[in-house]
Structure 1
Amino acid sequence: MSLLQKTKDLSPAYFGFVMATGIIAIAAHQQHYPIIAKLLFLVSCIGWLVLAYLYTYRAIRFSKDFTTDLISHSKGPSFFTTVAATALIGSQVMLLYDLYWVAFSAWLLALLLWLILTYTVFTALTIRRNKPTLDKGISGAWLLAVVATQAVAVLSALIATQTSQPWRLELNFLALSMWLWGGMLYIWMMSLIFYRYTFFQFLPGDLAPPYWINMGAMAISTLAGSLLIINAPNAPFLQSIKPFIKGFTVFYWATGTWWIPMLLILGIWRHVVRRFPFGYDPLYWGAVFPLGMYSACTFVMLQAMEFSFLDGLPTVFFFLSLLVWSVTFFGLCRNLAKLRQQL
């Protein structure tokens, strides 16, 4: 069996690799490690190109399997990693190289993918006849829709800083709208996920890595809010609601911070108490991304809110995310080596 034949079973979550790599590249740029930032940027770009080719091939060659995953309660939301990954490529280009038109092209593609996936996935999940029960159908992966929405908000805010009026105003309005919509979507979904947590049986196998998106979705919401605060002087309507944006940005950050100890405790319960085995899974990139995003969002929030007492957090989480990324990347390389031997 060729490598392309293997795409028949390609997980929709693999663009999480690009997301995780991209945000850690941004965090490295913030922490003044330009070599690491540019190296990870290159890796994320290569990953995006390879995965874009493989997913396009799968969509054409194995259209039935692709469509089945797209309208699945368990796998459909994972396709939103394509939106977040594309937007993060644009954000890296903007922050590392200040290439406006490349970033703008990535923004257009991310926005198009967001529109297609949002109204395809959620329409399909709404009208399909046979639906799973809540405990079987929902997971932390659903919050990737929030991450994708906020990733577009982040890139919109970044591009707005280099855009002349009146388009600067409109881009900031789009960023604000996406930020608010992402927050509302999180409230809807998190209510269901928390209900699933506390009122249904929870086995070690149920605690998949995408549950870290519980925190990651709040972290990227914090990043988007912080950028809106920074952009406020050049957008009068943002200036008028600046206290509101500041309040919700801190709200998002505090919620994301609350999740970190909770997820660590549940991870210890899963792997130490219940002895659930470790093994490489593409879903683990969904656990790497939130750590890098927490570093990046806290760094920008400190600038926007002028909080000096949290200075050490971005650095700590940058090195932690880099360590976890390295371990997960090693697992990916081992998995690819095994796959090559099977071909």
Structure 2
Amino acid sequence: MTEVGLDAEESFVERTVSAYDNPGIPYEVASTIPDKRRSKWREIIIGFSPSWFTACMGTGIVAVLFYFIPFEARWLYYLSIILFILDAILFCIISFITILRYALEPTLWRATLTDPAIAPFLGTIPIAFVILIELWVFICVPLWGEWASTLAWVCWIVDAIFAVIITTSLSFQLMSKSHLDSLKMVTAVQLLPIASTVIASGVGAEVAGVLPSHGRAQATLVASFVLWGMAMPLSGIILIIYYQRLAVHKLPSREVIVSCFLPLSPLGFGSYSIMYMGKVARSLLADSEPAIAIAGEVAFMFCMLIGLIIWSFGLTWFAFALASIYHSWPFPFNMGWWGFTFPLGVFAASTIELGLGMSSLFFRVLGTVFSAIVIVLWIVVSLGTLRGLWKRSLLVAPVIPVIPREEPIPSDGFSSDFW
């Protein structure tokens, strides 16, 4: 293991590879746990980390795509319901294990909050939850009516507050702490906390579209625009910094190369969000006075134009990601492979929404092709994850710095279980 003061990325790669080569509890974490307390189940629980919520995100977005595919087939609807239920079960199990993990070893929570490679994965929690809300809106609200839409609205408010806290607090931590003091240490994972607010904005528009109260719907839509405005410019700033990091220090290591797909998360859903908000704005203003109704049409067209521009920018990063994968192939399977599913999935959803909003067969077909690719990738990654669980090779906590029980947390420890 490298000593403090050596190159950060080399240290990170060595520690990540060490974690994957040695199943069980990493020696840094194990050193804080007495031998007599290390049981098999305890090792499994300690081996979980916030990055496991990426499995919920990937499963959830596949369920959304089954619902979204613009070529009607009843079996696609039933598959979306099955995956919705599976995603909800996964979310509950992983949430329970995560809570139990930090209860058993509180020092892991302190380390998570102060480690810039792990802390951003806290953003996966509100993302995984809000995808469940989205599926609830699409599947349950049409079946169960007003009470289901009200429940979705309440859950969305909770998620939006959590997402804003994650976005602002973790972004400020990068500015106020000394853990990330080199451009080389900047990674695409820094986009995760920001993406949580971007995605909350889009789901907020979906919730607004099913609320029976016109006043609540308008307030929710305005709040969604605010969330989008908070997060999208910030994600653009991070992308500029990340591009500079890639230009100066080149591609990340093979173990974390899938993180190159992460820019598609805020860009893909950012495009989808603004287009859907325009659609809902037009719907809410349609029954107003003629002048206001026209304003709704103008807002819809303007939002579609912005969505198309953001989608086009995402297409550039998609090309970068494909080139990075080709350049770095082959690379080992790890939890980072879930990064193939959600970012590309939200980009596919944005493509389909472009096709629907512009009445374009090309975008609808392209979105369907992207969706099929995501579904295949989800199957591959799911099978790989099940195999890793069976062998316990994936039940390895991110390498966390030693945290003495009565000493402050060191400020030079880095770790990752990159998505």
Q: Highest Rg: 1 or 2?
A: 2
User: What corresponds to 2:195 in structure 1?
Assistant: 147
Which is worse superposed, 328-337 or 107-116? 107-116
| Residue 278 (structure 1) aligned to one of 329, 332, 345 | 332
1:334 and 1:111, CA in 2 relative to 1: closer, same or farther beyond 3 A?
Answer: same
User: What corresponds to 1:326 in structure 2?
Assistant: 379
Q: Distance in 1 between matches of 2:130 and 2:202?
A: 8
Q: Which amino acid aligns with 2:196?
A: A
Q: C-alpha deviations, 1:76-127, integer Å up to 9, x for none? A: 1111010111110000010112131342243133123213323432333332
Which is worse superposed, 143-152 or 74-83? 143-152
The 8 Å contact of residues 63 and 84 in structure 2, kept in 1 or not, is answered as yes
1:238 and 1:20, CA in 2 relative to 1: closer, same or farther beyond 3 A?
Answer: farther
Alignment of 1:193-208 (within 5 A): 193-205=242-254, 207-208=256-257
Alignment of 1:327-342 (within 5 A): 327-339=380-392
Q: CA deviation at 1:207?
A: 4.7
Question: How many percent of aligned residue pairs carry the same amino acid?
Answer: 17
| Residue 326 (structure 2) aligned to one of 261, 268, 271 | 268
User: What corresponds to 1:251 in structure 2?
Assistant: 309
Q: Distance in 2 between matches of 1:179 and 1:222?
A: 10
1:130 and 1:213, CA in 2 relative to 1: closer, same or farther beyond 3 A?
Answer: closer
Q: Which amino acid aligns with 1:277?
A: F
Q: C-alpha deviations, 1:203-234, integer Å up to 9, x for none? A: 53375322211122211111101211211221
The 8 Å contact of residues 4 and 54 in structure 1, kept in 2 or not, is answered as no
1:14 counterpart = 2:67: no
Q: Distance in 2 between matches of 1:268 and 1:130?
A: 32
Scaled by the length of structure 2, what TM-score is found? 0.75
Q: Distance in 2 between matches of 1:84 and 1:161?
A: 20
Alignment of 1:101-180 (within 5 A): 101-136=150-185, 138-163=186-211, 164-180=213-229
Matched residue SS, 2:263: helix
Q: Distance in 1 between matches of 2:304 and 2:77?
A: 30
The 8 Å contact of residues 388 and 394 in structure 2, kept in 1 or not, is answered as no
The 8 Å contact of residues 14 and 283 in structure 1, kept in 2 or not, is answered as no
User: What corresponds to 1:29 in structure 2?
Assistant: 67
Q: Which amino acid aligns with 2:118?
A: K
Q: Which amino acid aligns with 1:17?
A: A
Q: Which amino acid aligns with 1:78?
A: F
Aligned length: 336
Q: C-alpha deviations, 1:138-159, integer Å up to 9, x for none? A: 2111111232112111221111
Q: CA deviation at 1:239?
A: 5.2
Alpha-carbon RMSD? 2.2
Matched residue SS, 1:306: coil
Q: CA deviation at 1:286?
A: 2.1
Q: CA deviation at 1:326?
A: 0.3
Which is worse superposed, 81-90 or 261-270? 261-270
Q: Distance in 1 between matches of 2:54 and 2:372?
A: 19
1:282 and 1:232, CA in 2 relative to 1: closer, same or farther beyond 3 A?
Answer: same
Segments of structure 1 that go 5 or more residues without pairing to the other structure are none
The 8 Å contact of residues 143 and 213 in structure 1, kept in 2 or not, is answered as yes
Q: Which amino acid aligns with 1:35?
A: Y
Q: Which amino acid aligns with 1:159?
A: V
Q: Which amino acid aligns with 1:143?
A: L
Q: Which amino acid aligns with 2:52?
A: Y
The 8 Å contact of residues 73 and 132 in structure 1, kept in 2 or not, is answered as no
Matched residue SS, 2:117: coil
